Structure 1
Amino acid sequence: MAKNLVIVESPTKAKTLSKFLGRNYKVMASIGHLRDLPKSKFGVDIEDNFEPQYINVRGKAKIINEIKKEASKADNVFLASDPDREGEAIAWHLAYLLDLSLEDKNRVVFNEITKEAVLDAMKHPRKIDLNLVDAQQARRVLDRIVGYELSPILWKKVKSGLSAGRVQSVALKLIIDRENEIKAFIPEEYWSIIMEAKVDKQDFSAAYYGKYAKDKLVEVKISNEKEADTIIKSLEKEYEVIDKNVSKRKRNPYQPFTTSTLQQEAAKRLYFTTSKTMSVAQQLYEGINVGGGSVGLITYMRTDSTRLSSSIIGESLAYIKENFGAKYASPGRSYSKKKSNSQDAHEAVRVSSINRTPQSIEKYLTKDQFKLYRLIWERTLQSQMKASEYLSTRYDIKNADHIFRANGSIIVFDGFTKVWSINDQTIELPDMEIGDKFSHEKIEKNQHFTKPKARYTEASLVKELEKNGIGRPSTYSSIIRSLLSRNYVNFEQKSLLPTEVGFKVNDLLQEYFEEVINKKFTADLENKLDSIEEDEIEWKVLISQFYDKFKPNLDNALKANKDEFAIKDKAINEKCPLCGNQLLEKSGRNGKFIGCSNFPECKYTRSIVKSLGIKCPKDGGDIIEKVSKRGKVFYGCSNYPKCDWASWDKPTGEICEKCGDLMVHRKNRNTDAVLCNNPECETNK
């Protein structure tokens, strides 16, 4: 019989730990929280100083009884839930259910699920950190208060079935503010003039820059074609180099991943959603059998820290020297400087062993696991490499009283970019000196228009949330998922586009709750949650301070009789085929649809089909716009499920000459290109 019981959250984690600990240990999984606030009622006693009314989670009775039974037989019980606030709270609730003393040293934490780390952690159990628990309780109660007290107002004044979130509402405002900026943006015309020349048989180009005024070079903006033509007409045949600047520059490697930077890079490089990134990272953390048994491949993926341990630094430096040469190895960087508002309890997101290369374990991983593991492995390794070095050259070139400028850059040492690819392009210029003269081969003018800021993508929204201290990186995935699932925003070409419902909800929140649902207040609240963790403020005091501001806003919203925020169904010129009543255009979780005005007595509905006027390459059906369960727009054949043609990218209507599939308009971080929808097609290579 096992003398020791170890309790973790997930079955995968339990399986991995069982192999490390041996026969004297039994490892069980709670499968998340076993106690929580009830779903069917408010669950917070405001009159009794905001006391939370926890209950056993419905459906968990069997697991609770099994854990209690094993705990009663064990000599020791260890609580090994995740090393963060949520994990600490799970351990605290387990201690309550098992009647364990909070003075017992039974809390075990490890940042990576490797045999060495787990065995070391088992030797150093500690007490449950009640400050961490209180910080989690404060967040949970704050979110419950906002969710349960705000949602009925949304039902009454906007649309039934809606819900509100404390941090989610601030994220929604960011998205809508950006959309309003885009709508209000007035493009301004401007022109560029490019001079192309050849010196010493080397082609290069220079862009029109400006003029000298009082011996000072001033940049000149060309506002229209007439101005561009005037400049071009005044140009003489001969150009002269009047200034040359050559400088050696360095680009340092990137810091190791935090949760947010991992989500951002996975979105930009792998096109993963934030939720997909966290799901795959969880799998890599909890353990995968890579031939010699199950092992955690990365450290804990919920962290604000960039710190690296001395062991991974040493291992990385040895790998770099052996595989690339000593000249690529840095002196070793720990990245241990704690940034403002960061939770530095554990390390950055890194691989557990740099010697476990992506290629060596690829056969044991799914495609998504391999892609994310490779990203984390490369980021870990490059952080210990030397900076890349390049020569930057700039020429100022005079013609009449006009100045053209040519900029070039040549890599002289690739450094960390040998592992971590970046977008810097080599632009070679001919070797010229001040006083050198030449003639142009071509002059070209181009019209441009200023563009508004881009809509938020998942990656850029995560970056903005972190920059403003809104929420925590571990919550960003759930924030975005909530906005999508509630139909407050949709995906359009990988960007987050607010819906009519989102606009109305935001309008109401800004009318009545602007004081407590804004960037500054939410970020300040986040800092106070950190202060609870540091034992600088009592958690119920924070809840009380929040509620004192929130309650008057709530009362004002309840008293108001305005119906300006209501989403009203629009009648269409058609009768219901089932009951003969008026059909309406309605808004639902996955966008607009047609439904009967006699609902719920009549449940007739149908989707609104948006045809692109393009025929399917497989069966000739119409290509139509569709919406996924997550609210993401995609394109598919109208004959589905008989025909399974589909694409996340909007078809152009052109047919690929190589394979016969449709060409699609594909946008990513670097390009806005027309490519074949078939990823295996030679056209894309």
Structure 2
Amino acid sequence: MTKNLVIVESPAKAKTINKYLGKDYIVMASIGHIKDLPAKELGVDIQNNFEPHYEIIPDTKKRNNKKIVADLKKTAKTAAAIYLAADPDREGEAICQHLAEEIVPKKPPVPSFRVMFNEITKRAVQAAFEHPKQIDGNLVDAQQARRVLDRLVGYKVSPLLCKTIGGRLSAGRVQSVALRMVVEREREIEAFKKTEYWTIAANVAGKQPPAFDARLLKVGEQTVKTGGFDNEPKPTEILIGKEAQAKDLVAEAEKQTFVVSEVTTKERKRNPVPPFITSKLQQEAARKLGFSVKKTMMLAQRLYEGSIEIGKEGGVGLITYMRTDSTRVGEAALGEVRGFIGTQYGANYLPEKAVHYRSKKDAQDAHEAIRPSEVSRTPDALAKYLKPEELKLYRLIWQRFVASQMMPALFDQTTIDIQAGRFVFRATGSVLKFDGFLKVYQEGRDEKPADDEDERTLPLVT
């Protein structure tokens, strides 16, 4: 019986997909790209509209590429149809194009299709095969443009750097731009003019503990300047620029009677953050887990491709595709997570409507945000199947996604103004009234400012 051939990039992905498709399909792996620009020459015809010249990737010690291609060709000759199922991005599209050129038989022709899925689950895979497409030439062109730029910049500029500067230096489409950004930032740092300034705080206590710090806000009618030092202070501002000046003000303030002049409390709302895009996942994994970009993407690839055995389910894709610049979430996934929130946390944690986040203007929006493929697979439920680092990253993705569809957190923010002669001191703090999405997730920060007072609790004062 003639079978359909499905080609994906990785053996792990092939194993999972084969389980979903059944006996009428053979799923094989190309192990990534089968063609590339030649390694020892430019491979780009600059005189002919920058036409790239691809070749079958030569064999290496780690990869027998000729055998991979030969095995794919042999199976393709007897296939009823060929489905190209590389990752749903421009690299995946280029892989499919090269497979179509080298693997798909022309005489006699075998029908070929492009299938894409954002998650490796039975539902998503079967839906993709019910609606196959053709290769997107625009995406292929985008990948080739990227590859040609890489080659032109690297091959042309790197030798020039080595010759003029010496050493083993390299240039690149991305690294050279990043280097320029670093240089520009360093120049800004070098041009920075240091300005001495002092802040004054009073440690005060009311009838009830605890004592708290209040910062000097005003001296008479002048507001204490604590930033924007490139400009001279306005008549309504005072810059405490010297230690002697600060000590004089402290000495004067210590002689005054401190009286609470005003207490204001207002409700403050903190909204949840969107589900992850690739760059945000990398940043947050570095902040919270200490993972490098490489480690984060390696772990995310494992979680995506279905290489992890989950009990009786076997291999299953646990997250959606991890290369995306979109915060969009499909309606089915929104329905699932809203049902989960209502059941697990209660109706007061569930917004009236699903929360939709705007992606950046220049986002390709080709894929959904990074999220768990099934929100019911909680981190605790998967703990016995995942390695510690896999579990940490999955928990981060799961928590961020669930929190993104929960109610905002509510705080009572209190401001206390204290009059001491001609001085006004101010203290601010907040009290959490309703945790909302914070019950599940709180976004990390690179560092917490030393003067951040939002999280502290102030005592009752009169």
Contact kept, 8 Å, 2:411 with 2:431, in 1: the verdict is yes
AA in 2 matched with 1:241: V
5+ residue gaps, structure 2, are: 60-64, 226-235, 445-452
Higher mean Cα deviation, 210-219 or 106-115? 210-219
Residue 143 of structure 1, aligned match among 147, 150, 164: 150
Quote the residue 1:289 is aligned against. Answer: 309
2: CA distance, partners of 1:219 / 1:100: 79
User: 2:31 aligns to what?
Assistant: 31
1:14/1:29 contact within 8 Å kept: yes
The structure 2 residue matched to 1:373, chosen from 391, 394, 412, is 394
> Residues of 2 paired with 1:178 and 1:339: CA distance?
24
Match of 1:88 in 2: 93
- 1:54-453 to structure 2, matched below 5 A, reads 54-59=54-59, 60-99=65-104, 106-202=113-209, 203-213=211-221, 218=236, 220-235=238-253, 236-287=255-306, 288-291=308-311, 292-335=313-356, 337-422=358-443, 426-432=455-461
Residue deviations 1:376-416, cap 9 Å, x none? 00001001100000011112221111111111111111100
Change (3 A) 1:54 1:70: same
Q: Equivalences for 1:507-586 in 2 at 5 Å?
A: none
User: Quick check: 201-210 or 415-424, which moved more?
Assistant: 415-424
Q: Structure 2: how far apart are the matches of 1:43 and 1:32?
A: 20
**Local SS of the residue matching 1:192:** coil
1:7-53 residue CA offsets vs partner (Å, 9 max, x unmatched):
00011111111111111111110001001111110000112221111
CA distance in 1, matches of 2:17, 2:347: 37
For 1:146 and 1:39, the matched residues in 2 are separated by 15
Q: Counterparts of 2:86 and 2:214 in 1: how far apart (Å)?
A: 60
Q: 1:313·1:332 contact (CA, 8 Å) conserved in 2?
A: no
CA deviation profile, 1:334-360 (whole Å, cap 9, x unmatched): 535342110111100000011101111
TM superposition shift of 1:425: 5.8
Q: Secondary structure at the match of 1:179?
A: helix
- Alignment root-mean-square deviation, CA: 2.2
Q: 2:30 and 2:202 mapped to 1: Cα distance?
A: 68
Q: Which residue identity does 1:269 align to in structure 2?
A: K
Structure 1 CA distance for aligned equivalents of residues 443 and 280 of structure 2:
15
Report the AA paired with residue 28 of structure 2. M
Between stretches 186-195 and 303-312, larger displacement belongs to 186-195
1:557 aligned partner:
none
**Alignment check: 8 A CA contact 2:79 2:110 kept:** no
TM-aligned CA deviation for residue 184 of structure 1: 4.8
Shift of 1:216: 12
1:628-682 Cα deviation digits (max 9, x unpaired): xxxxxxxxxxxxxxxxxxxxxxxxxxxxxxxxxxxxxxxxxxxxxxxxxxxxxxx
Letter in 2 for 1:305: S
Q: TM-score, normalised by structure 1?
A: 0.61
**By how many angstroms is 1:242 displaced?**
2.8
CA deviation vs aligned residue, 1:211-245 (integer Å, no higher than 9, x gap): 24389995533222211111112123312233333
- The whole-number CA distance in structure 1 between the counterparts of 2:357 and 2:204 is 50
Distance 1:32 1:352 in 2: 23
- Confirm or deny: 8 A CA contact 2:264 2:414 kept in the other structure: yes
The offset of 1:143, in angstroms, is 1.4
Q: Once the 2 structures are TM-superposed, how far is the Cα of residue 189 of structure 1 from its aligned partner?
A: 2.7
Unpaired runs of 5+ residues, structure 1, are 434-685
Describe the SS at the equivalent of 1:14: helix
* Cα 1:122/1:214, change in 2 over 3 Å: closer
Residue 206 of structure 1, CA deviation: 0.5
Distance, in Å, in 1 between the alignment partners of 2:119 and 2:237 is 54
8 A contact 1:111–1:347 mirrored in 2: yes
* Deviation of 1:422 (Å): 4.9
Q: Percent identity?
A: 49
Q: For structure 1, which segment, 230-239 or 113-122, has the greater mean C-alpha deviation from structure 2 after superposition?
A: 230-239
Contact 1:357–1:377 (Cα < 8 Å) also in 2 = yes
2:260 and 2:416 in contact (8 A); partners too: yes
State the TM-score, normalized to the length of structure 2: 0.89
Partners of 1:336 and 1:210 lie apart in 2 by: 41
Change (3 A) 1:216 1:74: closer
Q: CA deviation at 1:188?
A: 3.1
The aligned amino acid for 2:124 is: A
2-structure distance, mates of 1:271, 1:93? 38
Shift in Å, 1:105: 5.8
Aligned residues: 433
Structure 2 counterpart of 1:427, which letter? R
2:50 matched to which residue of 1?
50
Q: Distance in 2 between matches of 1:274 and 1:216?
A: 42
Question: Which residue of the partner structure matches residue 450 of structure 2?
Answer: none
Give the counterpart letter for 1:428 in structure 2.
T
**Shift in Å at residue 208 of structure 1?**
1.1
1: distance between equivalents of 2:4 and 2:111?
Answer: 14
Superposed CA deviations along residues 247-267 of structure 1, whole A, max 9, x for unmatched, are: 111000000100011011011
Give, as a single letter, the amino acid of the residue that structure 1 aligns with 2:279: S
| Structure 2 residue matching 1:250: 3-state secondary structure | strand
Q: CA deviation at 1:175?
A: 2.1
AA paired with 2:32?
G
